[in-house]
Structure 1
Amino acid sequence: MARAPRERRLENRTARAELKPRKEPYWSKISPGCLIGYYRARTTPTGTWFAKFRPVGAAPGVTFKAEKLGAADDVLDANGLDILNWSQANAKARPWWERMKRLASGGGAEPLTVDQAIEAYLADLKARGGVVREAERTLTRHVDPKLRGRLVCDLTASELSAWKLALVREDDDPDEVRASRSTANRIVATLRAALNLGRHQRPIEIPTDAAWKVGLKAFPSVTGSRNVILSADEIRRLIDAAPDPYFHDLLFALASCGARYGELAGCRVQDAHLDASGGARLHIPGGKTGSRTIAISDELRIVCARLASGRAGTVPLFTRADGARWGRSDQTRPMKLAVKTAGLDPSVTIYSLRHSWIAAALLAGTEVRIVADHCGTSVQMIEATYSKFIGRHSGDLIRASGPVLTKAETNVTALPGQRAKRSKVG
């Protein structure tokens, strides 16, 4: 980054404090047609930085264009965002001057918008062989048109932070909030990659990444969930402790198939295919990772048949006691009551049933890919989340996995003059 020119009157707060307040800012010429100004009103101790531009060789009637840059570090220390020292004011003015020069000349590229940065990032990702569809879906779904229309060089940390915070779900369950923040981190990382590429391609126009480095900082300590894994006995106690039959059915279904709470809440009567060839199945119409159809046990088939009997196909399969669909936080209070009644650890949440199902399936020897497809997640996520748990049982799994190569112990003794027959291996 180019060094700001020396300007004794404006370089530090001590020198600026000696300047008398006036109607016109104190201007310093940086280059032909480009000026930095400092203005302080009589009623405030903090001044303001301005940039000014006038095309070189412009007709006498052409006036200067001015742009407010931010507050001066007269009282508070500079942060490079909204409180600027002399050097930072110069750095922030440079992309604006470049933009004004392009507009004045009638040529050159227009300033980069967030939408253009996203399109360029997706094109670059495709050229590198990356997973374009997932990135495109993430950015299209979560980056609203207002933000996409903003110029990258004009983005502020506060607006990006507000957008990031809006991605987080409000919920009474701390584990749901943690999971929501983890999802937000993945969304934020994708947008941050697009903005970084834009800055790399246009370093003069976008001289700093401070706005998204601060505003899009990842939420800490959200990658690992409270993976409380329950035994079969604990699961039965939890289900039996449900405060009403409707919540009992929901807990039983969650424990029986490993689906997410929101996925089963979205199932309708018509999604239960109980007479399907090859076994009963349940269609998940709108899961976190899209729709899918899963195989269900005979026990769950019986429950679903009872719930679907005599009801219209479009109504919810699992309902609350009042007949309404389960909402996002409707499970929180009955779950806490059931956990307390069952005498389980207070850290147990409704998501623990999904964790427990996945862990049981893995310990039973089910292939990781099959578990991932059934649960609507990735093999990488399964391995990252459950590797420590499986590691604790690796000894038993290894000992039970190999072939038996030796004869079993016997108390039979060979007769004299006869040799015991050797058993063939294989």
Structure 2
Amino acid sequence: MALDLSKVGKRDDLKAQREPHWQRLRAGCYLGFRPSKVGGAGSWIARVYDEDTGKYRVKSLGDFGALAGNERFTAAKREAENLAELVEAGGEVRRKIETVADACRAYGETRPDAEGRFKRYVYSDALAKVKLDKLRRHHLRDWRKRVEDTPSLVSRSKAGETRTRDRAPATVNRDMAALRAALHTVLAPGRPNTEAAWQEALVAVSNASKRRTLYLDKTERRLLLQHIEREAEPFARALCLLPLRPGAMAMLAAGDYDKRTRELTIGKDKAGNDRRIIVPAEVGALFAEQAKAKLPVAPLFRRDNGKPWDRETWKHPIARAVAAANLPANATAYTLRHSTITDLVMAGLPLLTIAQISGTSAEMIERHYGHLARDAAVKALETLAL
């Protein structure tokens, strides 16, 4: 019969010996008890199998003498299971994922864009505390409604006044996509048309993505650079030369560019994992100049106060330059990215290559720019006409 150390009477009847009396808690995890020879509380021992070394790890847990006799087994069992979890995790304590917030934090560790959305719309929301095993469709439906009703910030003046607009369906889709991906890593989809079908509340809005239509040609982009303030000119010039997201460009460090090979490592980006690209000579010269005399961790493009650019600081000089150059008033930093991608497509560069450089999917490039690629191909064919 298997030994049951949870019974105080059973433990009192055990013979005092050097080898502990063992109870199997689960495969590879044992809890041992060694009775005292002098009538004390006895001592507890944990034994856990380590698959990496092929050996058992043994740890003395003490006597838990401060607890009542009927509470000692529970405390010792908890310590043994904690040791087993530590060993199985390779020496690192494995985070318990119990709530929606836990799932989001685990997912966002390597995905900065998703983590940013979680910080804005999940962690401070009532949804964050919902247990995953209790998550139902109505929890996410209510959360979605709250996100849809949250206005998007357009600008903030120096006096603290803010301008907002209604949240665009495409933005809501991106917010939902991050949460949906985080939950999919820990939850299986629920049975359709039931409250357990949590995934149904996060279905994307159809036809929400609108094609970016504002395009600044090279002459207009040069005009913008002529009118932009000296402090922001290198950052804006980089956006005109390389189709990175403004946020990814702003987070580049001096050490991310190797002038010997013209290789750029792009880290913090919506695309997630680091990627490396070789930049053209003109871009390389700009990056080398910006990296000169800077520590590797210093911002590659920094403001006069030494801090990196962000959306709250780059938009003002760009807006002022747009007005001074008499360009379309809705031109933004993202307009520069769109314009650069458009030029690459019209130049005939393969869409997959453009996707890799810009840090997006080939599907998105095809969706938004495929018509331009086809127009360019038709024009190329026309030159072959006899």
Give the structure-2-normalised TM-score: 0.57
Deviations 1:222-264 (A, max 9, x none): 411433222111111111111x223110111111111110011
The residue that corresponds to 1:181 in the other structure is 172
Matched, 1:263 2:254: no
CA distance 1:191–1:283, shift in 2 (3 Å): closer
Task: Using the TM superposition, give the Cα deviation of residue 377 of structure 1 relative to its aligned residue in structure 2, in angstroms.
Answer: 0.8
Instruction: For 1:241, give the aligned amino acid.
Output: H
Deviations 1:359-397 (A, max 9, x none): 111111111111111111111100001123445545323
Superposed, 1:121-160 pairs within 5 Å as 142=118, 146-149=129-132, 151-153=134-136, 155-156=138-139, 159-160=142-143
Superposed, 1:404-423 pairs within 5 Å as none
1:283 and 1:256 map into 2 onto residues whose CA distance is 16
Matched, 1:364 2:373: no
SS, match of residue 286 in structure 1: coil
Matched, 1:234 2:216: no
Task: Using the TM superposition, give the Cα deviation of residue 168 of structure 1 relative to its aligned residue in structure 2, in angstroms.
Answer: 8.8
Deviations 1:335-371 (A, max 9, x none): 1111111111112111111111111111111111111
1:398 and 1:259 map into 2 onto residues whose CA distance is 31
Gaps of 5+ in 2: 1-97, 156-162
Instruction: For 1:313, give the aligned amino acid.
Output: P
Deviations 1:80-139 (A, max 9, x none): xxxxxxxxxxxxxxxxxxxxxxxxxxxxxxxxx987xx9xxxxxxxxxxxxxx99x979x
2:215 and 2:164 map into 1 onto residues whose CA distance is 17
The residue that corresponds to 2:317 in the other structure is 334
2:173 and 2:195 map into 1 onto residues whose CA distance is 30
Task: Using the TM superposition, give the Cα deviation of residue 196 of structure 1 relative to its aligned residue in structure 2, in angstroms.
Answer: 9.3
Instruction: For 2:287, give the aligned amino acid.
Output: C
Superposed, 1:247-286 pairs within 5 Å as 247-276=232-261, 280-286=262-268
* Match for residue 289 of structure 2 among 284, 288, 306: 306
Superposed, 1:195-206 pairs within 5 Å as 197-200=189-192, 206=194
Matched, 1:288 2:264: no
The residue that corresponds to 2:23 in the other structure is none
Instruction: For 2:326, give the aligned amino acid.
Output: G
Instruction: For 1:297, give the aligned amino acid.
Output: P
CA distance 1:286–1:167, shift in 2 (3 Å): farther
1:153 and 1:183 map into 2 onto residues whose CA distance is 21
1:166 and 1:316 map into 2 onto residues whose CA distance is 36
CA distance 1:285–1:212, shift in 2 (3 Å): closer
* Match for residue 349 of structure 1 among 317, 324, 332: 332
Assess if the C-alpha contact under 8 Å between 1:167 and 1:184 holds in 2: no
SS, match of residue 321 in structure 1: coil
1:326 and 1:155 map into 2 onto residues whose CA distance is 40
CA distance 1:314–1:226, shift in 2 (3 Å): same
Assess if the C-alpha contact under 8 Å between 2:346 and 2:372 holds in 1: no
CA distance 1:304–1:207, shift in 2 (3 Å): closer
1:168 and 1:283 map into 2 onto residues whose CA distance is 35
* Match for residue 324 of structure 1 among 307, 311, 314: 307
1:334 and 1:222 map into 2 onto residues whose CA distance is 30
Assess if the C-alpha contact under 8 Å between 1:318 and 1:326 holds in 2: yes
2:340 and 2:346 map into 1 onto residues whose CA distance is 10
Assess if the C-alpha contact under 8 Å between 1:168 and 1:181 holds in 2: no
CA distance 1:397–1:285, shift in 2 (3 Å): same
1:152 and 1:309 map into 2 onto residues whose CA distance is 52
Task: Using the TM superposition, give the Cα deviation of residue 308 of structure 1 relative to its aligned residue in structure 2, in angstroms.
Answer: 1.4
2:332 and 2:149 map into 1 onto residues whose CA distance is 24
SS, match of residue 215 in structure 2: coil
2:377 and 2:317 map into 1 onto residues whose CA distance is 36
1:234 and 1:184 map into 2 onto residues whose CA distance is 33
Task: Using the TM superposition, give the Cα deviation of residue 272 of structure 1 relative to its aligned residue in structure 2, in angstroms.
Answer: 1.3
Deviations 1:294-325 (A, max 9, x none): 22222222222221111211110101232211
Q: Between Structure 1 and Structure 2, how many residues are aligned?
A: 263
Assess if the C-alpha contact under 8 Å between 2:348 and 2:376 holds in 1: no
1:367 and 1:167 map into 2 onto residues whose CA distance is 39
2:154 and 2:276 map into 1 onto residues whose CA distance is 28
1:285 and 1:225 map into 2 onto residues whose CA distance is 26
Task: Using the TM superposition, give the Cα deviation of residue 217 of structure 1 relative to its aligned residue in structure 2, in angstroms.
Answer: 6.7
The residue that corresponds to 1:223 in the other structure is 209
Flag as ranges the 4+ runs of structure 1 deviating above 2 A: 140-150, 152-175, 177-182, 185-197, 206-209, 215-222, 387-395
2:178 and 2:330 map into 1 onto residues whose CA distance is 27
2:296 and 2:133 map into 1 onto residues whose CA distance is 45
SS, match of residue 330 in structure 1: helix
2:226 and 2:246 map into 1 onto residues whose CA distance is 18
SS, match of residue 186 in structure 1: helix
For the pair shown, the structure with the greater C-alpha radius of gyration is 1
